[in-house]
Structure 1
Amino acid sequence: MIILEAQGYRLELAPERGGAVLRLDWHGEPLMRPACGSTIFDVGSFPLVPFSNRIAKGRFNTGARKGTIAPNFPGSDHPHPLHGFGWLTAWSVIEQDDNHALLEHTYPGGEWPWPYRARQTFELGAQGLTNRLSITNLGDAPMPAGLGFHPYFPRDAETVYRGLHRGEWYNTPDCLPSSLDEHEEAIDWWQGESVDTRAVDTAYTGREGMLEIDWPARGLGLTIAPSEELTTTVVFTPQGQDYFCVEPVSHATDAINRAPETLAWLEPGQTATVSMTLSARTLPPAA
Protein backbone atom coordinates (compact mmCIF):
# COMPACT_ATOMS: atom_id res chain seq x y z
CA MET A 1 0.00 0.00 0.00
CA ILE A 2 1.15 3.54 -0.80
CA ILE A 3 0.24 6.42 1.54
CA LEU A 4 0.46 10.05 0.40
CA GLU A 5 -0.17 13.06 2.66
CA ALA A 6 -0.30 16.84 2.16
CA GLN A 7 -2.36 19.85 3.27
CA GLY A 8 -4.68 17.80 5.47
CA TYR A 9 -5.35 15.20 2.75
CA ARG A 10 -4.41 11.54 3.13
CA LEU A 11 -4.53 9.07 0.23
CA GLU A 12 -4.09 5.29 0.31
CA LEU A 13 -3.33 3.46 -2.95
CA ALA A 14 -3.19 -0.24 -3.85
CA PRO A 15 -1.18 -0.56 -7.10
CA GLU A 16 -1.55 -4.34 -7.21
CA ARG A 17 -5.34 -4.05 -6.86
CA GLY A 18 -6.26 -2.46 -10.18
CA GLY A 19 -4.26 0.71 -9.46
CA ALA A 20 -7.05 1.57 -7.04
CA VAL A 21 -7.58 4.21 -4.38
CA LEU A 22 -8.37 2.54 -1.06
CA ARG A 23 -9.40 5.75 0.68
CA LEU A 24 -9.13 9.52 0.50
CA ASP A 25 -9.56 11.57 3.70
CA TRP A 26 -9.45 15.26 4.54
CA HIS A 27 -8.61 16.07 8.17
CA GLY A 28 -9.77 12.56 9.05
CA GLU A 29 -13.09 12.80 7.18
CA PRO A 30 -13.59 10.30 4.33
CA LEU A 31 -14.18 11.93 0.95
CA MET A 32 -14.37 8.62 -0.91
CA ARG A 33 -15.97 5.53 0.57
CA PRO A 34 -13.14 3.75 2.41
CA ALA A 35 -12.29 0.26 1.13
CA CYS A 36 -14.77 -2.13 2.70
CA GLY A 37 -13.87 -5.58 1.39
CA SER A 38 -11.57 -7.66 -0.75
CA THR A 39 -13.02 -7.17 -4.25
CA ILE A 40 -12.37 -4.39 -6.73
CA PHE A 41 -15.94 -3.18 -6.13
CA ASP A 42 -15.02 -2.55 -2.48
CA VAL A 43 -12.32 0.08 -3.12
CA GLY A 44 -12.61 3.87 -3.06
CA SER A 45 -11.94 4.37 -6.79
CA PHE A 46 -10.44 2.63 -9.81
CA PRO A 47 -9.33 3.72 -13.31
CA LEU A 48 -11.25 3.06 -16.53
CA VAL A 49 -8.96 2.21 -19.47
CA PRO A 50 -9.08 1.70 -22.46
CA PHE A 51 -12.87 2.14 -22.34
CA SER A 52 -15.61 3.06 -19.89
CA ASN A 53 -18.68 1.06 -18.97
CA ARG A 54 -20.04 -1.73 -21.19
CA ILE A 55 -19.43 -3.06 -24.71
CA ALA A 56 -22.51 -4.98 -25.87
CA LYS A 57 -21.73 -8.71 -25.78
CA GLY A 58 -18.07 -7.67 -25.97
CA ARG A 59 -18.26 -7.43 -29.77
CA PHE A 60 -17.02 -4.55 -31.91
CA ASN A 61 -15.92 -3.85 -35.46
CA THR A 62 -14.19 -0.55 -36.23
CA GLY A 63 -13.90 -1.36 -39.93
CA ALA A 64 -10.16 -1.84 -39.73
CA ARG A 65 -10.22 -4.24 -36.79
CA LYS A 66 -12.81 -6.27 -34.93
CA GLY A 67 -12.78 -8.27 -31.73
CA THR A 68 -14.67 -9.99 -28.95
CA ILE A 69 -13.94 -9.40 -25.28
CA ALA A 70 -14.98 -12.06 -22.78
CA PRO A 71 -17.31 -11.14 -19.89
CA ASN A 72 -15.24 -9.73 -17.02
CA PHE A 73 -17.73 -8.75 -14.29
CA PRO A 74 -16.22 -10.38 -11.17
CA GLY A 75 -18.51 -12.98 -9.62
CA SER A 76 -21.22 -12.60 -12.26
CA ASP A 77 -22.29 -13.96 -15.64
CA HIS A 78 -23.17 -10.46 -16.87
CA PRO A 79 -22.71 -10.72 -20.66
CA HIS A 80 -21.29 -7.26 -21.39
CA PRO A 81 -17.61 -6.72 -20.48
CA LEU A 82 -17.03 -3.39 -18.82
CA HIS A 83 -14.45 -0.81 -17.71
CA GLY A 84 -11.55 -2.10 -19.79
CA PHE A 85 -8.54 -3.96 -18.41
CA GLY A 86 -6.75 -1.61 -16.01
CA TRP A 87 -9.11 -2.17 -13.09
CA LEU A 88 -8.50 -5.94 -13.05
CA THR A 89 -4.71 -5.99 -13.24
CA ALA A 90 -1.75 -4.99 -11.10
CA TRP A 91 -0.05 -1.64 -11.78
CA SER A 92 3.67 -1.00 -11.34
CA VAL A 93 4.98 1.82 -9.17
CA ILE A 94 7.22 4.07 -11.29
CA GLU A 95 7.62 7.04 -8.91
CA GLN A 96 6.67 7.79 -5.32
CA ASP A 97 7.32 10.51 -2.75
CA ASP A 98 5.39 12.09 0.12
CA ASN A 99 2.60 13.62 -1.96
CA HIS A 100 3.01 12.13 -5.45
CA ALA A 101 2.87 8.71 -7.10
CA LEU A 102 3.07 7.45 -10.68
CA LEU A 103 1.66 4.02 -11.59
CA GLU A 104 1.83 2.15 -14.89
CA HIS A 105 -0.05 -0.68 -16.60
CA THR A 106 0.93 -2.12 -19.99
CA TYR A 107 -1.36 -4.21 -22.16
CA PRO A 108 0.30 -6.28 -24.91
CA GLY A 109 -2.74 -6.61 -27.17
CA GLY A 110 -5.16 -9.51 -27.37
CA GLU A 111 -8.94 -9.37 -27.03
CA TRP A 112 -8.44 -5.62 -27.39
CA PRO A 113 -6.39 -5.76 -30.60
CA TRP A 114 -4.21 -2.75 -29.78
CA PRO A 115 -1.29 -2.75 -27.33
CA TYR A 116 -1.11 0.27 -25.04
CA ARG A 117 0.57 1.77 -21.98
CA ALA A 118 -1.57 3.43 -19.31
CA ARG A 119 -0.27 5.70 -16.58
CA GLN A 120 -1.88 7.19 -13.50
CA THR A 121 -0.50 10.05 -11.44
CA PHE A 122 -1.77 11.05 -8.02
CA GLU A 123 -0.79 14.38 -6.51
CA LEU A 124 -1.90 15.92 -3.23
CA GLY A 125 -1.70 19.65 -2.56
CA ALA A 126 -3.68 22.63 -1.35
CA GLN A 127 -6.19 22.04 -4.16
CA GLY A 128 -6.82 18.46 -2.98
CA LEU A 129 -6.21 15.33 -5.05
CA THR A 130 -5.42 15.56 -8.74
CA ASN A 131 -5.65 12.17 -10.47
CA ARG A 132 -4.41 12.01 -14.08
CA LEU A 133 -4.88 9.04 -16.39
CA SER A 134 -3.21 8.61 -19.77
CA ILE A 135 -3.05 6.01 -22.51
CA THR A 136 -0.42 5.65 -25.24
CA ASN A 137 -0.95 3.62 -28.40
CA LEU A 138 1.94 1.14 -28.61
CA GLY A 139 0.66 -0.49 -31.80
CA ASP A 140 1.10 0.13 -35.50
CA ALA A 141 -2.47 1.21 -36.33
CA PRO A 142 -4.93 3.84 -35.05
CA MET A 143 -6.50 2.83 -31.73
CA PRO A 144 -9.86 3.93 -30.27
CA ALA A 145 -9.56 4.86 -26.62
CA GLY A 146 -11.78 5.94 -23.76
CA LEU A 147 -10.77 6.96 -20.26
CA GLY A 148 -12.38 7.77 -16.95
CA PHE A 149 -12.56 7.37 -13.19
CA HIS A 150 -14.88 5.25 -11.03
CA PRO A 151 -14.98 6.75 -7.52
CA TYR A 152 -17.38 5.62 -4.78
CA PHE A 153 -18.65 8.20 -2.29
CA PRO A 154 -20.24 7.94 1.17
CA ARG A 155 -23.98 8.49 1.26
CA ASP A 156 -26.68 9.15 3.81
CA ALA A 157 -30.32 10.29 3.53
CA GLU A 158 -29.26 13.95 3.20
CA THR A 159 -26.46 13.59 0.65
CA VAL A 160 -26.87 15.91 -2.33
CA TYR A 161 -25.22 15.55 -5.74
CA ARG A 162 -25.17 18.36 -8.31
CA GLY A 163 -24.02 18.19 -11.90
CA LEU A 164 -25.25 20.02 -14.98
CA HIS A 165 -25.74 17.87 -18.09
CA ARG A 166 -27.82 18.17 -21.23
CA GLY A 167 -28.73 14.50 -21.67
CA GLU A 168 -29.71 11.42 -19.68
CA TRP A 169 -29.60 7.94 -21.23
CA TYR A 170 -32.39 5.47 -20.53
CA ASN A 171 -31.12 1.91 -20.29
CA THR A 172 -32.29 -1.62 -20.98
CA PRO A 173 -32.52 -3.92 -17.92
CA ASP A 174 -28.96 -5.11 -18.58
CA CYS A 175 -27.65 -1.53 -18.61
CA LEU A 176 -27.18 -0.88 -22.31
CA PRO A 177 -28.38 2.50 -23.62
CA SER A 178 -31.80 2.53 -25.30
CA SER A 179 -32.79 6.19 -25.76
CA LEU A 180 -31.47 9.65 -24.90
CA ASP A 181 -33.52 12.36 -23.18
CA GLU A 182 -31.76 15.57 -24.19
CA HIS A 183 -32.38 19.22 -23.33
CA GLU A 184 -31.15 22.33 -25.11
CA GLU A 185 -29.49 23.51 -21.90
CA ALA A 186 -27.66 21.58 -19.21
CA ILE A 187 -29.79 20.93 -16.12
CA ASP A 188 -29.50 19.40 -12.64
CA TRP A 189 -31.40 16.14 -13.13
CA TRP A 190 -31.86 15.83 -9.34
CA GLN A 191 -33.27 19.37 -9.10
CA GLY A 192 -31.45 19.92 -5.82
CA GLU A 193 -33.01 16.89 -4.10
CA SER A 194 -31.00 14.26 -2.22
CA VAL A 195 -29.29 11.36 -3.95
CA ASP A 196 -31.89 9.00 -2.47
CA THR A 197 -34.69 10.47 -4.61
CA ARG A 198 -33.47 8.81 -7.83
CA ALA A 199 -32.22 5.24 -8.37
CA VAL A 200 -30.14 5.25 -11.57
CA ASP A 201 -27.21 3.52 -13.23
CA THR A 202 -26.72 5.51 -16.40
CA ALA A 203 -24.72 8.08 -18.33
CA TYR A 204 -25.32 11.83 -18.46
CA THR A 205 -23.99 13.65 -21.51
CA GLY A 206 -22.96 17.20 -22.32
CA ARG A 207 -21.49 18.07 -18.92
CA GLU A 208 -21.07 21.75 -18.12
CA GLY A 209 -18.94 22.88 -15.18
CA MET A 210 -17.98 21.15 -11.97
CA LEU A 211 -19.62 18.27 -10.13
CA GLU A 212 -20.46 18.74 -6.44
CA ILE A 213 -21.39 16.56 -3.48
CA ASP A 214 -22.66 17.91 -0.15
CA TRP A 215 -22.93 15.99 3.12
CA PRO A 216 -24.94 18.47 5.26
CA ALA A 217 -24.93 16.25 8.34
CA ARG A 218 -21.12 16.26 8.23
CA GLY A 219 -20.77 19.95 7.35
CA LEU A 220 -18.63 18.80 4.43
CA GLY A 221 -18.67 19.21 0.67
CA LEU A 222 -16.61 17.99 -2.27
CA THR A 223 -16.01 19.63 -5.65
CA ILE A 224 -14.98 17.40 -8.57
CA ALA A 225 -13.31 19.23 -11.46
CA PRO A 226 -13.03 16.87 -14.47
CA SER A 227 -10.87 17.83 -17.44
CA GLU A 228 -12.71 19.01 -20.55
CA GLU A 229 -12.29 15.63 -22.30
CA LEU A 230 -14.55 14.02 -19.67
CA THR A 231 -17.79 15.15 -21.26
CA THR A 232 -19.94 12.39 -19.75
CA THR A 233 -20.76 11.42 -16.17
CA VAL A 234 -21.96 7.97 -15.17
CA VAL A 235 -24.03 8.06 -11.98
CA PHE A 236 -24.94 4.94 -9.97
CA THR A 237 -27.28 5.33 -6.99
CA PRO A 238 -28.21 1.82 -5.82
CA GLN A 239 -31.20 1.68 -3.49
CA GLY A 240 -30.58 0.84 0.13
CA GLN A 241 -26.80 1.31 0.00
CA ASP A 242 -24.51 3.66 1.92
CA TYR A 243 -22.57 4.69 -1.19
CA PHE A 244 -23.07 6.01 -4.70
CA CYS A 245 -20.82 6.58 -7.71
CA VAL A 246 -20.15 9.70 -9.78
CA GLU A 247 -17.84 8.72 -12.64
CA PRO A 248 -16.32 11.35 -14.95
CA VAL A 249 -15.72 9.58 -18.29
CA SER A 250 -14.90 10.47 -21.88
CA HIS A 251 -17.76 8.69 -23.65
CA ALA A 252 -21.15 7.06 -23.20
CA THR A 253 -21.81 3.33 -22.84
CA ASP A 254 -20.98 1.09 -25.85
CA ALA A 255 -19.57 4.05 -27.74
CA ILE A 256 -17.28 1.86 -29.84
CA ASN A 257 -20.40 0.43 -31.51
CA ARG A 258 -22.85 3.33 -31.24
CA ALA A 259 -20.72 6.46 -31.58
CA PRO A 260 -17.08 5.56 -32.36
CA GLU A 261 -16.39 9.17 -33.37
CA THR A 262 -16.75 10.17 -29.70
CA LEU A 263 -13.70 8.09 -28.75
CA ALA A 264 -10.15 9.38 -28.96
CA TRP A 265 -8.49 7.85 -32.03
CA LEU A 266 -4.78 7.64 -31.32
CA GLU A 267 -2.14 7.26 -33.99
CA PRO A 268 0.80 4.96 -33.20
CA GLY A 269 2.80 6.55 -30.40
CA GLN A 270 0.12 9.13 -29.59
CA THR A 271 -1.09 9.73 -26.02
CA ALA A 272 -4.42 10.91 -24.61
CA THR A 273 -4.67 12.26 -21.05
CA VAL A 274 -7.60 13.12 -18.76
CA SER A 275 -7.76 14.25 -15.15
CA MET A 276 -10.01 15.04 -12.23
CA THR A 277 -9.32 17.15 -9.14
CA LEU A 278 -11.19 16.51 -5.90
CA SER A 279 -11.31 19.44 -3.48
CA ALA A 280 -12.91 19.34 -0.03
CA ARG A 281 -14.81 22.29 1.40
CA THR A 282 -16.56 23.14 4.65
CA LEU A 283 -20.29 23.77 4.39
CA PRO A 284 -21.75 26.81 6.15
CA PRO A 285 -23.97 26.00 9.15
CA ALA A 286 -27.61 25.36 8.29
CA ALA A 287 -29.82 28.40 8.77
Structure 2
Amino acid sequence: MRLAIAAGDYQLVVAPERGGSILSFTWRGEPVMREAEGLGILDVGCFLMVPFANRIAGGRFDWNGRAMAIPPNFGGEDAYNPIHGYGWLTGWDVLQSGEDWLELGHERHGGEWPWPYRAAVEYVLEADGLTARLSLTNTGEEPMPAGLGFHPYFPRTDATRYIGLHRGEWRGEGNPLPVTLDERDTPFDWWEGRPVSTRVVDTVYSGRQGPLEIIWPERAMAVTITPSANLSRTAVYAPQGSDWFCVEPVSHLTDALNGRDPGAPMPALAPGETLSAEMRLSVRPL
Protein backbone atom coordinates (compact mmCIF):
# COMPACT_ATOMS: atom_id res chain seq x y z
CA MET A 1 0.00 0.00 0.00
CA ARG A 2 1.12 3.52 -0.84
CA LEU A 3 -0.61 6.61 0.50
CA ALA A 4 -0.14 9.97 -1.24
CA ILE A 5 -1.00 13.38 0.18
CA ALA A 6 -0.38 16.87 -1.19
CA ALA A 7 -0.59 20.55 -0.26
CA GLY A 8 0.64 23.57 -2.20
CA ASP A 9 3.99 22.72 -3.84
CA TYR A 10 4.53 19.62 -1.68
CA GLN A 11 3.77 15.95 -2.31
CA LEU A 12 4.37 13.04 0.07
CA VAL A 13 4.14 9.29 -0.51
CA VAL A 14 4.17 6.95 2.52
CA ALA A 15 4.32 3.15 2.82
CA PRO A 16 2.52 2.03 6.01
CA GLU A 17 3.63 -1.61 5.61
CA ARG A 18 7.31 -0.57 5.35
CA GLY A 19 7.67 0.84 8.83
CA GLY A 20 5.42 3.83 8.12
CA SER A 21 8.31 5.17 6.06
CA ILE A 22 8.40 7.98 3.51
CA LEU A 23 8.99 6.81 -0.07
CA SER A 24 8.93 10.24 -1.69
CA PHE A 25 8.86 13.85 -0.52
CA THR A 26 8.97 16.45 -3.29
CA TRP A 27 8.68 20.21 -3.71
CA ARG A 28 7.62 21.51 -7.11
CA GLY A 29 8.43 18.06 -8.45
CA GLU A 30 12.00 18.14 -7.06
CA PRO A 31 13.02 15.44 -4.56
CA VAL A 32 13.73 16.80 -1.10
CA MET A 33 14.46 13.36 0.33
CA ARG A 34 16.04 10.53 -1.62
CA GLU A 35 13.45 8.81 -3.79
CA ALA A 36 12.87 5.18 -2.77
CA GLU A 37 14.26 2.74 -5.34
CA GLY A 38 14.43 -0.80 -3.94
CA LEU A 39 12.00 -2.78 -1.81
CA GLY A 40 14.01 -2.86 1.44
CA ILE A 41 13.66 -0.54 4.40
CA LEU A 42 17.15 0.85 3.72
CA ASP A 43 15.94 1.95 0.28
CA VAL A 44 13.29 4.41 1.53
CA GLY A 45 13.44 8.18 1.83
CA CYS A 46 12.96 8.29 5.60
CA PHE A 47 12.15 5.77 8.33
CA LEU A 48 11.14 6.14 11.96
CA MET A 49 13.22 5.20 15.01
CA VAL A 50 11.16 4.02 18.01
CA PRO A 51 11.49 3.07 20.91
CA PHE A 52 15.20 3.88 20.65
CA ALA A 53 17.51 5.48 18.09
CA ASN A 54 20.69 4.10 16.59
CA ARG A 55 22.62 1.32 18.38
CA ILE A 56 22.78 -0.38 21.78
CA ALA A 57 26.27 -1.82 22.21
CA GLY A 58 26.01 -5.60 22.16
CA GLY A 59 22.36 -5.25 23.19
CA ARG A 60 23.47 -5.24 26.84
CA PHE A 61 22.64 -2.66 29.49
CA ASP A 62 21.34 -2.35 33.05
CA TRP A 63 17.84 -1.00 33.61
CA ASN A 64 16.30 -0.47 37.05
CA GLY A 65 18.67 -3.00 38.58
CA ARG A 66 18.13 -5.63 35.88
CA ALA A 67 20.77 -6.84 33.44
CA MET A 68 19.18 -6.70 30.00
CA ALA A 69 20.27 -8.55 26.85
CA ILE A 70 18.53 -7.52 23.60
CA PRO A 71 19.48 -9.56 20.50
CA PRO A 72 20.39 -7.90 17.18
CA ASN A 73 17.26 -7.03 15.25
CA PHE A 74 18.65 -6.43 11.74
CA GLY A 75 21.61 -8.67 11.04
CA GLY A 76 22.05 -7.47 7.48
CA GLU A 77 22.97 -4.03 8.76
CA ASP A 78 24.56 -4.90 12.12
CA ALA A 79 25.08 -8.48 13.29
CA TYR A 80 26.15 -7.44 16.80
CA ASN A 81 24.12 -4.44 17.97
CA PRO A 82 20.35 -3.85 18.05
CA ILE A 83 19.75 -0.83 15.82
CA HIS A 84 17.10 1.87 15.27
CA GLY A 85 14.37 0.28 17.41
CA TYR A 86 11.50 -1.85 16.09
CA GLY A 87 9.09 0.52 14.39
CA TRP A 88 11.10 0.61 11.16
CA LEU A 89 10.89 -3.19 10.80
CA THR A 90 7.13 -3.66 11.14
CA GLY A 91 3.98 -2.64 9.34
CA TRP A 92 1.97 0.31 10.65
CA ASP A 93 -1.82 0.62 10.61
CA VAL A 94 -3.57 3.54 8.95
CA LEU A 95 -5.48 5.26 11.75
CA GLN A 96 -6.80 8.34 9.91
CA SER A 97 -6.11 10.17 6.67
CA GLY A 98 -7.11 13.19 4.59
CA GLU A 99 -5.97 15.00 1.46
CA ASP A 100 -3.02 16.62 3.19
CA TRP A 101 -2.46 14.55 6.35
CA LEU A 102 -2.40 11.00 7.65
CA GLU A 103 -1.87 9.20 10.93
CA LEU A 104 -0.34 5.74 11.34
CA GLY A 105 0.18 3.57 14.40
CA HIS A 106 1.73 0.33 15.57
CA GLU A 107 1.82 -1.60 18.85
CA ARG A 108 4.31 -3.98 20.34
CA HIS A 109 3.35 -6.31 23.19
CA GLY A 110 6.74 -7.40 24.51
CA GLY A 111 9.18 -10.00 23.24
CA GLU A 112 12.83 -9.21 22.56
CA TRP A 113 12.10 -5.66 23.73
CA PRO A 114 10.24 -6.60 26.93
CA TRP A 115 8.35 -3.33 27.41
CA PRO A 116 5.02 -3.08 25.57
CA TYR A 117 4.32 0.22 23.83
CA ARG A 118 2.14 2.02 21.32
CA ALA A 119 3.63 4.32 18.67
CA ALA A 120 1.97 6.77 16.31
CA VAL A 121 3.16 9.09 13.55
CA GLU A 122 1.30 11.96 11.95
CA TYR A 123 2.40 13.44 8.63
CA VAL A 124 0.92 16.86 7.89
CA LEU A 125 1.52 18.85 4.69
CA GLU A 126 0.83 22.58 4.60
CA ALA A 127 1.62 25.27 2.07
CA ASP A 128 4.93 25.96 3.83
CA GLY A 129 6.17 22.42 4.45
CA LEU A 130 5.94 19.01 6.10
CA THR A 131 5.57 18.28 9.79
CA ALA A 132 6.19 14.73 11.03
CA ARG A 133 5.06 14.07 14.61
CA LEU A 134 6.14 10.85 16.32
CA SER A 135 4.90 9.62 19.69
CA LEU A 136 5.62 6.68 22.00
CA THR A 137 3.33 5.56 24.85
CA ASN A 138 4.32 3.08 27.52
CA THR A 139 1.43 0.58 27.70
CA GLY A 140 3.16 -1.66 30.23
CA GLU A 141 3.24 -1.70 34.02
CA GLU A 142 6.83 -0.58 34.65
CA PRO A 143 9.07 2.25 33.43
CA MET A 144 10.67 1.67 30.03
CA PRO A 145 13.63 3.27 28.25
CA ALA A 146 12.34 5.68 25.64
CA GLY A 147 13.88 7.31 22.59
CA LEU A 148 12.71 8.70 19.26
CA GLY A 149 14.28 9.76 16.00
CA PHE A 150 13.83 10.36 12.29
CA HIS A 151 16.17 8.83 9.71
CA PRO A 152 15.85 10.80 6.44
CA TYR A 153 18.12 10.33 3.41
CA PHE A 154 18.85 13.41 1.29
CA PRO A 155 20.15 13.69 -2.29
CA ARG A 156 23.81 14.65 -2.47
CA THR A 157 26.11 15.99 -5.16
CA ASP A 158 29.66 17.34 -4.94
CA ALA A 159 28.18 20.81 -4.31
CA THR A 160 25.62 19.90 -1.63
CA ARG A 161 26.18 21.70 1.66
CA TYR A 162 24.89 20.88 5.14
CA ILE A 163 24.85 23.46 7.94
CA GLY A 164 24.09 22.35 11.48
CA LEU A 165 25.40 24.27 14.47
CA HIS A 166 26.42 21.95 17.33
CA ARG A 167 28.86 22.25 20.21
CA GLY A 168 30.08 18.65 20.14
CA GLU A 169 31.09 15.97 17.64
CA TRP A 170 31.39 12.41 18.91
CA ARG A 171 34.16 10.25 17.44
CA GLY A 172 33.91 6.49 17.10
CA GLU A 173 37.53 5.63 16.29
CA GLY A 174 36.62 3.31 13.43
CA ASN A 175 33.27 2.02 14.68
CA PRO A 176 29.74 3.50 14.78
CA LEU A 177 29.66 3.68 18.60
CA PRO A 178 30.70 7.01 20.16
CA VAL A 179 33.95 6.95 22.11
CA THR A 180 35.30 10.49 22.53
CA LEU A 181 33.71 13.93 22.39
CA ASP A 182 35.28 16.94 20.68
CA GLU A 183 33.42 19.87 22.21
CA ARG A 184 33.65 23.58 21.43
CA ASP A 185 32.73 26.56 23.59
CA THR A 186 30.02 27.70 21.16
CA PRO A 187 27.92 25.91 18.51
CA PHE A 188 29.99 25.33 15.39
CA ASP A 189 29.51 24.36 11.72
CA TRP A 190 31.72 21.26 11.59
CA TRP A 191 31.96 21.49 7.79
CA GLU A 192 32.91 25.19 7.99
CA GLY A 193 30.81 25.97 4.93
CA ARG A 194 32.37 23.30 2.73
CA PRO A 195 30.38 20.67 0.77
CA VAL A 196 29.22 17.51 2.53
CA SER A 197 31.54 15.41 0.33
CA THR A 198 34.65 16.96 1.93
CA ARG A 199 34.16 14.85 5.08
CA VAL A 200 33.34 11.17 5.67
CA VAL A 201 31.36 10.81 8.91
CA ASP A 202 29.14 8.37 10.80
CA THR A 203 28.62 10.06 14.13
CA VAL A 204 26.37 12.06 16.43
CA TYR A 205 26.49 15.78 17.20
CA SER A 206 25.36 17.27 20.51
CA GLY A 207 24.39 20.70 21.75
CA ARG A 208 22.39 21.74 18.69
CA GLN A 209 21.54 25.41 18.27
CA GLY A 210 18.73 26.35 15.93
CA PRO A 211 17.55 24.49 12.81
CA LEU A 212 19.51 22.40 10.33
CA GLU A 213 19.89 23.31 6.66
CA ILE A 214 20.75 21.49 3.43
CA ILE A 215 21.61 23.56 0.36
CA TRP A 216 21.67 22.36 -3.26
CA PRO A 217 23.24 25.29 -5.21
CA GLU A 218 22.90 23.66 -8.63
CA ARG A 219 19.19 23.01 -7.97
CA ALA A 220 18.64 26.53 -6.61
CA MET A 221 16.87 25.21 -3.52
CA ALA A 222 17.42 24.58 0.17
CA VAL A 223 15.54 22.81 2.94
CA THR A 224 15.38 23.91 6.57
CA ILE A 225 14.92 21.09 9.10
CA THR A 226 13.50 22.22 12.44
CA PRO A 227 13.48 19.45 15.07
CA SER A 228 11.63 19.78 18.35
CA ALA A 229 13.76 20.81 21.32
CA ASN A 230 13.91 17.26 22.70
CA LEU A 231 15.62 16.03 19.50
CA SER A 232 18.78 17.73 20.70
CA ARG A 233 21.23 15.33 19.06
CA THR A 234 21.83 14.96 15.32
CA ALA A 235 23.23 11.79 13.78
CA VAL A 236 24.95 12.38 10.45
CA TYR A 237 25.96 9.60 8.09
CA ALA A 238 27.89 10.75 5.02
CA PRO A 239 29.66 7.74 3.42
CA GLN A 240 32.36 8.21 0.83
CA GLY A 241 31.27 8.30 -2.81
CA SER A 242 27.52 8.11 -2.17
CA ASP A 243 24.83 10.18 -3.91
CA TRP A 244 22.93 10.54 -0.62
CA PHE A 245 23.61 11.28 3.04
CA CYS A 246 21.60 11.21 6.27
CA VAL A 247 20.83 13.96 8.78
CA GLU A 248 18.90 12.36 11.65
CA PRO A 249 17.32 14.34 14.51
CA VAL A 250 17.37 12.04 17.55
CA SER A 251 16.49 12.32 21.23
CA HIS A 252 19.61 10.66 22.61
CA LEU A 253 23.15 9.66 21.82
CA THR A 254 23.95 6.26 20.34
CA ASP A 255 24.20 3.71 23.19
CA ALA A 256 22.87 6.20 25.73
CA LEU A 257 21.55 3.21 27.71
CA ASN A 258 25.13 2.46 28.70
CA GLY A 259 25.82 5.95 29.97
CA ARG A 260 27.94 7.18 27.06
CA ASP A 261 26.39 10.64 27.33
CA PRO A 262 26.26 11.59 31.03
CA GLY A 263 24.69 14.94 30.18
CA ALA A 264 21.64 13.30 28.56
CA PRO A 265 20.89 9.82 29.89
CA MET A 266 18.17 7.71 28.26
CA PRO A 267 14.85 8.91 29.71
CA ALA A 268 12.45 6.58 31.50
CA LEU A 269 8.83 6.58 30.39
CA ALA A 270 6.40 5.83 33.22
CA PRO A 271 3.42 3.50 32.67
CA GLY A 272 0.81 5.35 30.61
CA GLU A 273 3.20 8.23 29.84
CA THR A 274 3.80 9.48 26.28
CA LEU A 275 6.96 10.89 24.71
CA SER A 276 6.48 13.00 21.58
CA ALA A 277 8.81 14.69 19.10
CA GLU A 278 8.54 16.33 15.71
CA MET A 279 10.56 17.29 12.67
CA ARG A 280 9.51 20.08 10.31
CA LEU A 281 10.89 20.54 6.78
CA SER A 282 10.40 23.70 4.73
CA VAL A 283 11.90 24.29 1.27
CA ARG A 284 12.82 27.64 -0.24
CA PRO A 285 14.19 28.66 -3.63
CA LEU A 286 17.65 30.21 -3.85
Give TM class, smaller chain.
Answer: over 0.9
Matching residue of 1:115? 116
CA distance in 2, matches of 1:221, 1:107: 37
Matching residue of 1:88? 89
Query: Given the alignment of the two structures, is residue 269 of structure 1 paired with residue 266 of structure 2, yes or no?
Result: no
What is the deviation of 1:143?
Answer: 1.3
CA deviation digits over 1:183-211, x for unaligned, max 9?
11110000000000100000000111000
> Letter of the aligned partner of 1:179 in structure 2?
T
CA contact (8 A) 1:65 1:113 kept: no
What is the deviation of 1:127?
Answer: 2.4
CA contact (8 A) 1:67 1:112 kept: no
Matching residue of 2:62? 61
User: Structure 1 stretches (4+) deviating beyond 6 angstroms?
Assistant: none
Matching residue of 2:13? 12
CA distance in 2, matches of 1:66, 1:155: 42
Matching residue of 1:44? 45
CA distance in 2, matches of 1:77, 1:218: 35
What is the deviation of 1:81?
Answer: 1.2
What is the deviation of 1:76?
Answer: 4.4
Matching residue of 1:279? 282
Q: For residues 196 and 173 of structure 1, do their structure 2 counterparts lie closer, same or farther at Cα, with a shift above 3 Å needed?
A: same
Q: Partner of 1:103: helix, strand, or coil? A: strand
CA distance in 2, matches of 1:182, 1:219: 33
Matching residue of 2:74? 73
Q: Partner of 2:179: helix, strand, or coil? A: strand
CA deviation digits over 1:119-166, x for unaligned, max 9?
000000022000000000001111110101000000000000000001
Q: How many residues align?
A: 283
CA distance in 2, matches of 1:101, 1:118: 14
What is the deviation of 1:71?
Answer: 1.5
Q: Partner of 2:85: helix, strand, or coil? A: coil
Matching residue of 1:237? 238
CA distance in 1, matches of 2:160, 2:77: 30
Matching residue of 1:124? 125
Q: Partner of 1:256: helix, strand, or coil? A: helix
1:30-41 counterparts in 2 under 5 A?
30-41=31-42
Q: Which runs of 5+ in 1 are unaligned?
A: none
CA contact (8 A) 1:167 1:182 kept: yes
What is the deviation of 1:74?
Answer: 4.8
The alignment's TM-score, normalised by the length of structure 2, stands at: 0.96
CA distance in 1, matches of 2:222, 2:157: 13
CA deviation digits over 1:222-281, x for unaligned, max 9?
000000000000000011110000000001110011248532321110001000100010
Q: Partner of 2:111: helix, strand, or coil? A: coil
1:108-257 counterparts in 2 under 5 A?
108-257=109-258
> Letter of the aligned partner of 1:163 in structure 2?
G
Q: Partner of 1:87: helix, strand, or coil? A: helix
CA deviation digits over 1:34-71, x for unaligned, max 9?
00111111000000001111000111111344322222
Moved more, 66-75 or 261-270: 66-75
Across the aligned residues of Structure 1 and Structure 2, the Cα RMSD in angstroms comes to 1.2
CA distance in 2, matches of 1:86, 1:172: 29
What is the deviation of 1:3?
Answer: 0.1
Q: For residues 67 and 111 of structure 1, do their structure 2 counterparts lie closer, same or farther at Cα, with a shift above 3 Å needed?
A: farther
> Letter of the aligned partner of 2:236 in structure 1?
V
> Letter of the aligned partner of 1:94 in structure 2?
L
CA distance in 1, matches of 2:72, 2:173: 18
> Letter of the aligned partner of 2:35 in structure 1?
P
> Letter of the aligned partner of 2:270 in structure 1?
E
Q: For residues 235 and 77 of structure 1, do their structure 2 counterparts lie closer, same or farther at Cα, with a shift above 3 Å needed?
A: closer
Q: Partner of 1:196: helix, strand, or coil? A: helix
CA distance in 1, matches of 2:187, 2:45: 28
Q: Partner of 2:280: helix, strand, or coil? A: strand
CA distance in 2, matches of 1:150, 1:124: 18
Percentage identity across paired residues of the two chains: 54
CA contact (8 A) 1:203 1:253 kept: yes
